[in-house]
Amino acid sequence: MPKEKNRMSPGQLFKVYRQVERITQQCLAGKGNIQTLTFNNSAIIQKGMTFALGIEVLKYHNIIDTIINRSGLFKKKPSLKKDHGMLRIIVYEALFGEKSGDDTIQELWKRYEKINYELFKLGKLEYKNWKTILHNEKTRLGYTDNESFVDSKYAKSKTHQHDNPEIDLIRYVRINTLKTTKQNVIRKFQELGYSYMNYSDASERDAFNPQNKTIVEDNHLPDLLALYPSNSHLHDMEMIKSYEIIAHDKSSCFPPFLIYKELSGKLGKSDCLIDACSAPGNKTSYLAALFSKNKIYAFERDTARFETLSNRMMLSGAKNVECKLEDFLKTDPNDPKFKNVKAIMLDPSCSGSGIGHGSSIQKDRLLRLQQVQLKLLTHCFKFPNVQVISYSTCSVCEEENEKVTEMGLEASNGAFEVVHTFPEWPHRGLESSPVGEHCVRVDPKRDRTNGFFVVCFRRK
């Protein structure tokens, strides 16, 4: 938003808001476009500012309306429906505007205090609830930035979900086989106007235009589809809402898939698995789909994240998952209920450098993360009957990846070995590491999926 807004009097700001309210309502009702409604009306003041704010509200109107509806405001106060347009502006300013974010939101509330208007007071009261709803929607859809919600009708959406704007990631959706089949999903996409191609056909340049509405079957993971164009709008797709498909970055699918490759056909019905650090639950639900006949214990120690995890398991149909509000490090590996644990998926907190976070991370923080990661990994080794352990991060830092693998292997005292997993994936760990060739690395620029690292340990 233009900086001049900060210099406006409260009365002028409120008038601009009223203009934006009216214009955006007309646009969404199909009564004109924002350019004409703004610039061809001589009564509009601050035309540039009105247009700029209006286009931003329109860009995010889908997710804003979701937030408003899920907040329950209209049920609690039906009279607010007449103020829907103004509510959109307030939600935009609080969650997406220049003063959004916990560090600057107080400046927005101070500005609003100068205008005696009940909706502004309501916004301050509802802010935390709105913020939680936005976070849950990003988690549910696998989005890592707000711009993934942008309605391409009003602006060209950035197609990448990576913090580096030079990296254009492919958008993937995973078929949730707990609820549907690949054939049903392909048919529904075709009904929406998408063409279907297998990977080999799409690899032929003459046969594939990434700007056309297309779904492409992935060449490594049978339940994964690449979605083109990569700014395809997922938010209101019925298959997303019903959890028939789940927005899931390709590299993030590797840990469950690699455990499946190691143990497929080898587990009895009484055998179970553990997801040690589960929330938000994308990997958990995939593991549940791959091992649908086996019980999975999913651990999460944070209450809010646990609620997200539990809700996602319910919605995705993962009935074989038992969510546990516990710190995995405090579990007793010798507890009788864990005697049949044959695999553990460990994806601990990390720097996030593979998705653009922590590009300038301090060495001391890396080492602190490394200590926790190693502690979690060595705890996995203590489960007496575990056969396979996957260790993964969304980091590109050696300290969190190959180094943790090396130290973990040494700490296992010869009980475990590193498996040369996923040999068909061409990009391996660092050559300087003695375990590098056995590890899987993903580079966002090269592979067009988020940066990632995964390795599998197997009991000797």
Residues contributing to the annotated binding site for S-adenosyl-L-methionine: 277-283, 300, 327, 347
Task: Note if 397 is an active site residue.
Answer: no
Question: For residue 122, what are the contacts with CB-CB under 8 A and spacing of at least 6?
Answer: 73, 90
Q: Which of 323, 394, 397, 439 is catalytic?
A: 394
Pairwise CA distance, residues 362 & 358, whole Å = 8
Q: Binding site membership: which residues?
A: 277-283, 300, 327, 347
Q: Look at the block and give the residue holding tokens 């593991």.
A: 287
* Residues annotated catalytic, as ranges: 394
